[in-house]
Structure 1
């Protein structure tokens, strides 16, 4: 099974997912050949387009090929022509048109390209039940062709935190879709409270947005309280989680939210916008309690109000921390993700191949 992926060295949830699946699928019987397709996806140059075309053309007839949606969905002219010869599966981390900040015409173009690709391939994998339902409804896909393989989580030692309340952590690439600008505005509205916030995530995807965010931080007088730490991994990221009392994620669109389950895997409660698959990622503890606060995305007062509740209600903090610790032990691991994805691949592998 060849797999076409975006740059695996880039720090994103999608690339972490791709990397883990390439690593874990061989353990359940799949032979994986990984192909990194470098380029400015979903706006590839000629070299990137040629490389993807070459990889597909050199794959033997009937081969199961798993393609990252960021690569596949923007180039139906390359992908669709191979659907009769190869068994193609597209893994959609985020619908292309859902990226925040796109001009409407560009979003519509990407949406149309994605629809053409997804309607042509025999199988699609989404990363949450919410995302699967949305793909079926939005692109009018047959529900039986859309499978779900939600990201797993590695259970880590419980985070000791700082003082139990004041250390806030946001783990997300600094882009308009992740909403750090509105997070800083919410923090400015509660500047009288005793918090600090570390924002961990890549700073190179949208330099203009990063510059405006830095300007807002300074203008709000929060330069010594909000820290843009840049991307982290390994022990450095583990240390940031260990010091956190509350995870905050204020995205405008998410199909799941791996940073949420990474926090919950350490028993850290979550404050997040109730968009897309984020409520699914937050989930519930075995007793039904919610390990965090979900706020409506369209209400600018909701984030400051939730933060004031977090600091002002010790009983709420205790309940959320207990629920987060209980949710931690109930999270599915990456083996479940691999088995769910393998089930979709196996179903496709056993189907009669389309006649040429």
Structure 2
């Protein structure tokens, strides 16, 4: 196999440098950043194309030798919401083409992330005559299966776009086998062109240790039961479920010194104002709201917790759950999407079927009532997460790239 030298990565709707937990930033931003870093470490040259976050940025950043981050000015994220991006894609595509042409860039493979980037990637695959590998990260048809009452379904243009990408790209990368099944069952993707590649975790940042100092920094007493939520403050991520469960938890255990920390900010169409919910559930003075923080500070938040809650309605994988476990903290998560792949029920945490407050309260109570069990889960969690290094993710992704290139060239020769 010929080594792949140049890779074009499309992350058009959100910058990989954005801090997860706010705006449109989440696990995908971490994924693109660390995958690109490891591909460069393997000897590839990587250009990541994204839209500007503000007009003050330099057109091109150089995070490390062999890597470039190209800011396209067609739809700055501080001016244009993600919902308007479909109409801006032609301009972003035009600017991307202009950059590649003026720079003389030639790529071996294109890797697009999320459907907006995939739409542009399909056009580039045809014109540049190089294969497109696509990662969905989330899918409209899956999200539409989990709509809450009154919640608007994903737009038809997205469903159609994902359908076209699934049919037209050279290969698809799924985070889990569950996602691979969804691609075949819901989108008719050919099973033979899907590669399952689990995301990684930055084990140099997320690791056990420093619990006492982390709790002191966060203002958490040693005798307090500390539950942490980290992510965007929106209905889909389920912080409202945690607050409802916390009220029942306090009623069942009035002696409990309960503390809840929520790290993130409201975003998206289903954004939440948590202040009224905190008051309604009688949790005033027990809940701390904190803004999104860089990875090092987030790791400290995890280490300060007794348990991390991930009550999402839909997750393609659940990187927060993996990062928390890497810090030696057990996770209570919804039994949906890719979370069963990230959390081993009864071994590294607990999985809850559904979003009933009573069920969530019972799961959290189990970890409160049995501290030895909680500590054993945390120790297992660190071992479990250590198997998910980004080096492995990059190696498997590079293998997918090579399959795409080989099959793409063979198809062209036959044609």
CA contact (8 A) 1:17 1:151 kept: yes
Match in the other structure for 2:389: 333
CA contact (8 A) 2:89 2:116 kept: no
1:68 pairs, out of 110, 113, 127, with: 113
Q: CA distance change for structure 1 residues 66 and 79 in 2, over 3 Å: closer, same or farther?
A: closer
1:135 has 2:183 as partner? yes
- Which one is further off, 336-345 or 196-205? 196-205
1:3 has 2:9 as partner? yes
Match in the other structure for 1:158: 209
Match in the other structure for 1:52: 93
Q: TM-score, normalised by structure 1?
A: 0.87
User: What are the residue-to-residue correspondences of 1:202-213 with 2, within 5 Å?
Assistant: 202-206=265-269, 209-211=271-273, 213=274
1:37 pairs, out of 36, 51, 75, with: 51
Match in the other structure for 2:39: 25
Instruction: Give the deviation of 1:292 after TM superposition.
Output: 0.6
Match in the other structure for 2:69: none
1:301 has 2:364 as partner? no
Match in the other structure for 1:263: 324
Match in the other structure for 2:67: none
Instruction: Give the deviation of 1:147 after TM superposition.
Output: 1.2
Instruction: Give the deviation of 1:61 after TM superposition.
Output: 7.3
1:170 has 2:218 as partner? no
CA deviation profile, 1:9-40 (whole Å, cap 9, x unmatched): 33211001101111110121322112113544
2:136 pairs, out of 65, 79, 92, with: 92
User: What are the residue-to-residue correspondences of 1:169-248 with 2, within 5 Å?
Assistant: 169-191=228-250, 192=254, 193-206=256-269, 209-211=271-273, 213-248=274-309
Match in the other structure for 1:320: 377
Q: CA distance change for structure 1 residues 313 and 283 in 2, over 3 Å: closer, same or farther?
A: closer
Q: CA distance change for structure 1 residues 147 and 37 in 2, over 3 Å: closer, same or farther?
A: farther
Q: Secondary structure at the match of 2:30?
A: helix
Q: CA distance change for structure 1 residues 322 and 24 in 2, over 3 Å: closer, same or farther?
A: closer
Q: CA distance change for structure 1 residues 327 and 29 in 2, over 3 Å: closer, same or farther?
A: same
CA deviation profile, 1:148-180 (whole Å, cap 9, x unmatched): 221112332335265377111111111221111
Instruction: Give the deviation of 1:346 after TM superposition.
Output: 1.2
C-alpha RMSD of matched pairs (Å): 2.6
Q: Secondary structure at the match of 2:132?
A: strand
CA contact (8 A) 1:203 1:230 kept: no
Q: Secondary structure at the match of 1:86?
A: coil
Instruction: Give the deviation of 1:128 after TM superposition.
Output: 2.0
Where does structure 2 lack aligned partners over 5 or more consecutive residues?
1-6, 21-25, 53-74, 76-80, 216-221
CA contact (8 A) 1:164 1:245 kept: no
Q: Secondary structure at the match of 2:328?
A: coil
CA contact (8 A) 1:97 1:107 kept: no
2-structure distance, mates of 1:344, 1:160: 39
Count of matched residue pairs: 346
